[in-house]
Amino acid sequence: MATSESDKCWRECMDVAVEVACRAGKVVQEAVKHEKSVSTKSTPTDLVTEADQQVEELIISTLRDKFPSHRFIGEESSAAGEKCILTDNPSWIIDPIDGTCNFVHSFPMVAVSIGFAVKKELEFGVIYHCFDGTLYTARKGHGAFCNGVRIQVSKEKDVSKALILTEIGAKRDPATLNIFSGNIMKLLSAPTHGVRIIGSSTLALCLIATGAAEAYYQYGLHCWDIAAAAVIIREAGGIVIDTSGGPLDLMSRRVVAAGTHEMANYIVQQLQPISYERDDSDPGVQK
């Protein structure tokens, strides 16, 4: 496909993504008012509700109708055993409800996240905040926006002036918790202005894109938590890399994001790693 043709094509895909994310977000907004049917997945703290499954079905069936040749990676389809492999084909990477635990508690940090990749390169990302209706969007080479207004990361380089965000993944064994709290202690005693955990990786990453916080890191998130947000942060002028300091590997379940290289490199140097099974490992293997 010629560049201008693919540009037009992906723009059309993004228009559909915005429409579907808003529609799905409104379903989540309504579902939050009702009793939830909650089950667990990989660990007792890895929650799923009927709404996660219904919203994923709504998103994927709508997109598949319009783009039958595309591939789909969705959080709940993967949990149900579908392969989570990124190919060169146009691929949608979907988290129907990011912040499921927040959703269960009506804690107002819940999002629908839709990322899109072609030839394994992220092309655009759409994230809809289900409680306040904020829409974050970005397409490669075209800037990042919050409700249509251009956004920019923080240009702060000085760690002692940084607000840092993180999330804990699903593992809660003592060794993981020790490393997790050790990493937080190191960053608090740097000292930094503070460390925050809001319960939604995608919305935390959006806060890096708007410049509300300087850096984010996490072990244990999934490709559907990073895909859309990575485009939004990069288009807002930020950096999204692996916790080792190398390029982001969408399937590796770890990330450092920041407004500046200096901030990202500092975080990379502080972190003690927590290991998680890759997203593209065999289905059936506990992740």
Q: List residues with catalytic annotation.
A: 75, 95, 97-98, 100, 225
167 binds ligand IPD (CB under 6 A): yes
115 binds ligand IPD (CB under 6 A): no
Was 225 annotated as part of a binding site? yes
Buried b (16+ CB within 10 A) or exposed e, 180-196: beebeeebeebebbebe
Q: How far is the CB of 220 from ligand IPD (least distance, A)?
A: 5
100 binds ligand IPD (CB under 6 A): yes
8 A C-beta contact, residue 83 and residue 109:
no
Q: How far is the CB of 119 from ligand IPD (least distance, A)?
A: 26
> Cα–Cα distance between 275 and 273 in angstroms, integer?
6
Residue 6 vs 178, nearer CB to ligand IPD: 178
Buried b (16+ CB within 10 A) or exposed e, 10-32: beebbebbeebbeebbebbbebb
Residue 202 vs 210, nearer CB to ligand IPD: 202
> Cα–Cα distance between 49 and 69 in angstroms, integer?
29
Was 75 annotated as part of a binding site? yes
Q: How far is the CB of 165 from ligand IPD (least distance, A)?
A: 10
Q: Which token pair is 134? A: 């904020």
How many residues in the shown chain lie near ligand IPD by CB under 6 A? 16
Chain-centroid distance of CA 135 in Å reads 14
156 binds ligand IPD (CB under 6 A): no
Q: How far is CA 226 from CA 75, 116, 242, 248, 254, in A?
A: 12, 11, 11, 10, 9
90 binds ligand IPD (CB under 6 A): no
Instruction: From 9-17, 98-106, 136-144, 266-274, give the range in contact with ligand IPD by CB under 6 A.
Output: 98-106
Q: Which of 25, 74, 99, 125 binds ligand IPD (CB under 6 A)?
A: 99
183 binds ligand IPD (CB under 6 A): no
φ/ψ region of 34 (left if φ > 0, alpha if ψ in -120 to 50, else beta) reads: beta
125 binds ligand IPD (CB under 6 A): no
> Cα–Cα distance between 178 and 180 in angstroms, integer?
5
> Cα–Cα distance between 118 and 124 in angstroms, integer?
10
222 binds ligand IPD (CB under 6 A): yes
Q: Which of 192, 201, 243, 252 binds ligand IPD (CB under 6 A)?
A: 201
Q: Residue 191, preceding bond cis, omega within 30 degrees?
A: yes
279 binds ligand IPD (CB under 6 A): no
8 A C-beta contact, residue 276 and residue 225:
no
75 binds ligand IPD (CB under 6 A): yes
Q: Which of 56, 76, 95, 214 binds ligand IPD (CB under 6 A)?
A: 95
Instruction: Could you list the residues known to form a binding site for Mg(2+), using ranges.
Output: 75, 95, 97-98, 225
The residues binding ligand IPD (CB under 6 A) are: 75, 95, 97-100, 167-169, 199-201, 220-222, 225
